[in-house]
Chains A and B, each alone.
Chain A
Amino acid sequence: MSTSKIRDAALPLLLAAVVLAVPLVLKTPYWLNVLILVLVWTTLGTAWNIVGGYAGQLSLGHSAFFGLGAYTLALTAGKLGWNPWAGIALGMVLSVPLALFIGSITFRLHGPYFVLASLAIAEVLRLVTLAWRSVTNGAVGLMVPFLFEGISRAPYYWFIAVVAIVAVGLTWWIERHKLGYYLTAIREDQETAESIGINTTGYKNLALVLSAVIAAVTGSFYASYLSYIEPDIVLSEPVSLQMAIVAIIGGRGTVFGPAVGATLLVLASELFRAQFKQAHLLIYGLLLMAAILFLPGGVLGTLQQRIKARRAAKAAAIGATFARKEAS
């Protein structure tokens, strides 16, 4: 590894170390819980961002993967008495065919088919879960076994922190490699990407699969952390929307955008809990509209653009001085 690569990776690695060290210092259950929620939404936003931000394919049905992970764990570990880790693994495995099913049908078509299919599949899963009472308990919901013994929340924190770091690390890697350039090319101009030989359908499917697996493992984690799930908690439309909103507010197509978005939204909803409870989806809707109208790059995306523009202006100014010196 060259020194520039090490320098490039130093800051993210330091950040990861800090995130992992938090429970050693912070022992308050309340704040640990808040941070766990931040990490859950960071992971979900990051998952959404791979397909929605980098590949530019709008999903409004990611609750399908999240709910699949949650229900797979609840049914295998809770009802069949499996080892919970095997249940989590199965949820991740099952999310792959579901993603490929949606992707292979819609990604070959031009038009808004993917967004509609993602919505429809999530809704079908919700309706089937509600109706299939003998297995899923319907609207009553299911108890989910704990992943970790004891009352400490720290093990849960570490688990979701590792998942979040892997997810953010994956986008960090994607952005710097062939896959990232391919996805960006597909987002910016699909026809051109196709004409230079990129297998657009294949790479969109790959992005969706990666995204689905991350959403599924987070779903399993969330189910075990809550210890109880029902269709309206893990399979409902607001779950899908919040994943998208976290990524959009933070910055679509940036590595740390979803983390920024998740931190802002979770902290805001904790601060204004009393006022938020009733109206939090109304506020999210207005925030989404405001972000699209006035800050389409999100917080981090806009910031990065500003810095880039300033650097370019500086470089131009230096260039101009040199040119003047040479002329005189």
Chain B
Amino acid sequence: MELLAQLPQNLVSGLLLGGMYALIGVGLALVYGVMDIVNMAHGAFLMVGMYTTYLLVNNFGIDPYAGILISAPALFVLGMLIQRLVIHRIATASHMNQILLTVGLSMALVNTAQLLFTADYRQVRTSYAETVIRFAGVSMNLAYVISFAVAVAITVGLYLYLMKSEFGRALRATSQDIHAAQLMGINVRNVQMTAFGLGMALAGAAGALLTPVYYLYPTVGENFGLKAFTMVVLGGMGSVVGAALGGVTLALAESLGQMVVGHELKDAIGFVVFVLVLLFKPAGLFGRARA
């Protein structure tokens, strides 16, 4: 009975978290779709976004949400530079080498953060972090609600941009068939570079949104990175909409599952879901399957 009473609260918490998960998953799916690269550094970029926000808040007194306007463009540029200078060099190499390169990149980023900030847990304090909204017996942290709203706004904005704009069309074409896109006169190199930058900007934005509601430490991204893969697989590899739905599904599964297995094993739920999807529906729950 007690479990049933907790149900609405956990549903709402899961949904709020799901908005942020969706944003993380969408960035990874975008890069996978366009570049066919499993970007193991996605979680590390999320971590960079979190520490950037932390610095902006602590040193310049900028609100964490306003900080997105600085951290997201910064990561966009950083992502484009890394794509052009590093990843593009092995564009023709095997998938294994491309993955390993992003693994190395992730290790370098995470351990640089470890040197700069030590392994200490840090937190960003905001005036509204303690504010709680109560509605129909369910309480919601105000920071969570804002983060959720911003995440949804960014995800929907990105979707509209991809569907309506000229660049979005070029990006989707590249994602479907890179050779055909090239033959249609699309500058595939630029699309790939921009897509990688966009993916990193999304990771950075997600990091900024997580900062007010989460702790930060150098390896914080590893966990989220792994979860992002689960979302992308859930959504059918490379589908942006699928990844967003996958994010919400995963967050709900975690938040409901932890009522049964306890808080400590919450993070393991996602991986169990991941294995189940691979077993029974490897093409993903939503969207298209990619060969």
Contact = CB atoms under 8 A, between A and B. Distances in A.
Interface of A: 52, 56, 58, 60, 105-106, 109-113, 115-117, 119-121, 123-124, 127-128, 130-131, 237, 241, 244, 248, 278-279, 281-282, 284-289, 292-293, 296
B86 interface: yes
Overall SS of chain B's interface: helix
Interface residues of B, number: 45
B291 A285 contact: no
B265 A128 contact: yes
Contact of B226 (A56, A120, A287): A120
Contacts of A296: 93, 97
Contacts of B123: none
Contacts of B267: 123, 127
B108 A289 contact: yes
Contact of B103 (A105, A110, A128, A241): A241
B81 interface: no
A285 B107 contact: yes
A60 B101 CA distance: 13
Contacts of A284: 107
B286 interface: no
Nearest to A133: B264
A290 to B, nearest CB: 8
A292 B229 contact: no
Contacts of B89: 293
Given A111-B237, A120-B230, A60 B103 contact: yes
Contacts of B251: none
B233 interface: yes
Contacts of A287: 104
B104 A286 contact: yes
Interface stretch (B11-19, B188-196, B271-279): B271-279
B95 interface: yes
Nearest to A58: B96
A113 B281 CA distance: 13
A286 B96 CA distance: 17
Contacts of B97: 292, 296
Contacts of A289: 86, 101, 104-105, 108
Given A131-B262, A278-B115, A117 B100 contact: no
